[in-house]
Amino acid sequence: MKAIYQKYILNFKQASGTSRGILKTKETFFLKLIDEDKIGIGECGIFKGLSIDDRPDYEEKLNWLCQNINTTIDVLLTELIEFPSIQFGLEQAVLSLKSKNPFELFPSKFTQSKEAININGLIWMGNEAFMKQQIEEKLKAGFSTIKMKIGAIDFETELRLLKSIRTNFSSKEIELRVDANGAFNPNEALEKLKHLSEFEIHSIEQPIKQGQISEMAGLCLKTPLPIALDEELIGVFDVTNPSGGRAGKQELLQIINPQYIILKPSLIGGFKGSKEWINLAEKQQIGWWITSALESNIGLNAIAQWTYTLGNKMPQGLGTGSLFTNNFESPLEVKNGHLHYNSTRKWMINL
């Protein structure tokens, strides 16, 4: 068996705003495994400025993987512990190689087009008019859960947008989630959460920056609305903390005790890393859902198929496939607030 990789630049249809700035392009890498006449493909979805493996030796590690591809997968995954997006690309590629159809990694009622996955509609940051336009489009498209990114424009304007939704739709009609991407100052976060709670918000993702464990624990204890950890999970490799250094997964959840955690497989070690978080969260009765991290349809396809097998009925964050001008045509399609797998549509990919 041999392995090769290829860089690919995804171009956003329109610049997308987050609290970290404006995104116009997204770099990703595809790992291909070739064994006689069979090919497997996986996406190593690095996220510049967010991924723990956004480092100068990233391609060097991909090269190392290609040279050592015939080592057992357990050994490879252990060696790649600090490169979670490469771990995930490898997991996908191995499953793809073994599958009858290289894009059908987890055959199910989802891939048979019999069932769909409930997803949230994503509202990107921008000026008030742009955000309002997006909200109207998502409601028109049949989404019953909307996730709004906040923290980049004036907080009063964001509250006004949320109020306008609640004026027209109750919490039973539209579920509202907000994502602060760590934008709040710890000293003002609780007060802002109180204001947000007036609009019956389902949850807020990462209100303060990651790494402030005691402050986040205090917030989760006092918060008037549920808090979901997102970036907080990035870079936490060990389940426990055998070395006496930074907190492991178990300790982090025990200290902070959040209401939810959000799992982005590309950022936390793929299927294996995500499942470790899920098992620990369920022991503590912490809720969870899965979110993509701006992968192309190759990575999104793997995440969606796996997510379906988990049986979590909450709306998932898997609606990012239509953001790019040069994504690959695939069976994935969003209709009425759900992600469908239209098995009559073929993959159009040339890599």
- The CATH number covering residue 206 comes to 3.20.20.120
pLDDT tens, residue by residue, 108-148: 999 999 999 999 998 887 778 888 888 889 989 999 999 99
Specify the DSSP element, H or E, that contains 38: strand 38-44
Same domain, 144 and 74: no
144: containing domain? 117-341
- Identify any residues that bridge with 289 across adjacent strands, giving them in sequence order: 262
Same domain, 302 and 169: yes
Same domain, 179 and 322: yes
* Cα–Cα distance measured from residue 349 to residue 351, given in angstroms and rounded to the nearest whole number: 6
* Cα–Cα distance measured from residue 298 to residue 104, given in angstroms and rounded to the nearest whole number: 11
Same domain, 180 and 298: yes
Residue 281 domain flag: yes
Same domain, 10 and 123: no
Sign of CA dihedral 257, 259, 265, 270: positive
Same domain, 73 and 130: no
Residue 320 domain flag: yes
| CATH code of the domain covering residue 89 | 3.30.390.10
- How many degrees, rounded to 5, is the angle at CA 205 between CA 313 and CA 327? 70
pLDDT tens, residue by residue, 201-228: 999 999 999 999 999 999 999 999 999 9
Q: Which residues are catalytic?
A: 149, 264
Q: What number is the average pLDDT over the span 157-161?
A: 91
Q: What number is the average pLDDT over the span 177-191?
A: 95
Residue-level pLDDT at 294: 93
The two three-digit tokens of residue 190, written as one number: 């609780």
pLDDT tens, residue by residue, 226-247: 999 999 999 999 887 655 556 8
Residue-level pLDDT at 17: 63
